[in-house]
Amino acid sequence: MTGRRPRATGNVGRGWRHNGWTLVKVVALGGAMLVLAGCAGNDLPQDTLAPEGPIARKQDGLWDLVFWVATAVFVVVEVMLLAVLLKFRVKDDDPTREPPKQTHGNTKLEVLWTIIPAFILAVIAVPTVSLIFDLANAEEDALQVRVIGKQYWWEFEYLGEEGKKVVTANELAIPVGRQVELTMESTGQSDSDPLGVIHSFWVPKLAGKQDVVPGHKRTLLIEAEKPGVSYSGQCAEFCGLSHANMRLAVLAMTPADFEAYIEEQSQPQTTPTSGDAAKGAELFTQRQCIGCHAINGYEGAGARVGPNLTYFAQRKQFAGYMLENDINEGAENVSAWLADPQKVKPGSQMPNLGLSQDDISNLVAYLRTLK
């Protein structure tokens, strides 16, 4: 087409005024949204500014200090800026006015605005560096837990004083009043596969984030004080299709409850020999579930591509801690997961095995015995 470009017509000034107002409205609306976001409830489950443990509280204290220093700097700079703008603004429309006198370089001012920020940074550095050193080493009696970031779920491995090995998924039970040192790494398909991706472990009420990097071991300290609380957390680094579905919970319990928990979880299961559960247990081998999932006490099931299922029926949620574990009720969520894992959690390593309704209900019967 060779048509002429349409010329801009109409009153340009009016257009400007119109656009100007739109801009003001957009900025005002955006600002209002930002301010109103602060009106959200006070007991949000992942509020990093409402710490509930000694380690998170120390980190939050440092955040508060930096926040108030930054606020003071902002206020001082803005007040000076506004004062200068108002005092030296053009007060008439005289077109013959000479431009203001230009100054280049002022040693006194330059030294001053180098020294003041350097001083502020030095003041902030003292508590920052000291807290970094403080949190670099765990207390001697800290509970040691190995954390492995997988696509897309968390594996937790305890090796207790008595050598009782417990492996769980997405649910991390910890005793209150005791530091927990998490040694974290990321692997791919299995424990020996080093080709993982970067995740980030974050339970906002208990500690800051820590990246979980393939080929590296990173540590993070957490500590809770209130027993009976479930702290929610999530992966905080984009790691693939189901990054948003990679959640977790830290279950804080009394030391006695924790001891009982480890004792129980370290017991092997007995494989059912009759009824639907026995059929389900058989399917577990036939349909290759065994190739990825460990169940202590189930002969041949030791792989760690997928979550260890030894006490699956006790877990509150599953599938990256996204779905309520309804295995003991209607098992609708569990059945939907078995029928088509990719639909529930895109990119999951769990394949669609093409299970029939009978297969699923038998597997559900078997999983129900894992309590």
Q: Which residues bind ligand CUA (CB under 6 A)?
A: 149, 152, 199, 235, 237-239, 243, 246
Q: Which is nearer to ligand CUA, 208 or 280 (CB)?
A: 208
Q: Which is nearer to ligand CUA, 199 or 205 (CB)?
A: 199
Q: How far is the CB of 237 from ligand CUA (least distance, A)?
A: 5
Q: How far is the CB of 19 from ligand CUA (least distance, A)?
A: 41
- Which tokens hold the place of 359? 């297969």
Q: Which is it for the CA torsion 52, 56, 61, 63, positive or negative?
A: negative
Q: Which is nearer to ligand CUA, 145 or 213 (CB)?
A: 213
Query: CB within 8 A of 248, min separation 6: which ones?
Result: 154, 170, 171, 172, 201, 203, 232, 233, 234, 321
Q: How far is the CB of 297 from ligand CUA (least distance, A)?
A: 30
What dihedral angle (degrees, nearest 10) is formed by the CA atoms of 156, 162, 163, 164? Answer: -50
The total of other beta-carbon atoms located within 10 Å of residue 204's CB is 22
The total of other beta-carbon atoms located within 10 Å of residue 131's CB is 15
Q: How far is the CB of 199 from ligand CUA (least distance, A)?
A: 3
Q: Which is nearer to ligand CUA, 193 or 225 (CB)?
A: 193
Q: Which is nearer to ligand CUA, 152 or 261 (CB)?
A: 152
328 backbone dihedrals φ, ψ, rounded to 5°: -90, -5
Q: How far is the CB of 238 from ligand CUA (least distance, A)?
A: 6
Q: How far is the CB of 322 from ligand CUA (least distance, A)?
A: 13
Q: Which is nearer to ligand CUA, 235 or 277 (CB)?
A: 235
Q: Which residues pair with 249 in a beta bridge?
A: 171, 232
Query: CB within 8 A of 56, min separation 6: which ones?
Result: 48, 204, 205, 206, 207, 208, 222
Cα–Cα distance for residue pair 364/181, rounded to 1 Å: 35
Q: Report H helices in 43-105.
A: 54-87
Q: Which is nearer to ligand CUA, 211 or 257 (CB)?
A: 211
Q: How far is the CB of 241 from ligand CUA (least distance, A)?
A: 10
336 backbone dihedrals φ, ψ, rounded to 5°: -60, -40
Q: How far is CA 269 from the centre of its chain?
A: 32
Q: Which is nearer to ligand CUA, 151 or 369 (CB)?
A: 151
Q: How far is the CB of 155 from ligand CUA (least distance, A)?
A: 12
Cα–Cα distance for residue pair 228/316, rounded to 1 Å: 14
Q: Is 62 exposed, middle or buried (0-12, 13-18, 19+ CB in 10 A)?
A: middle
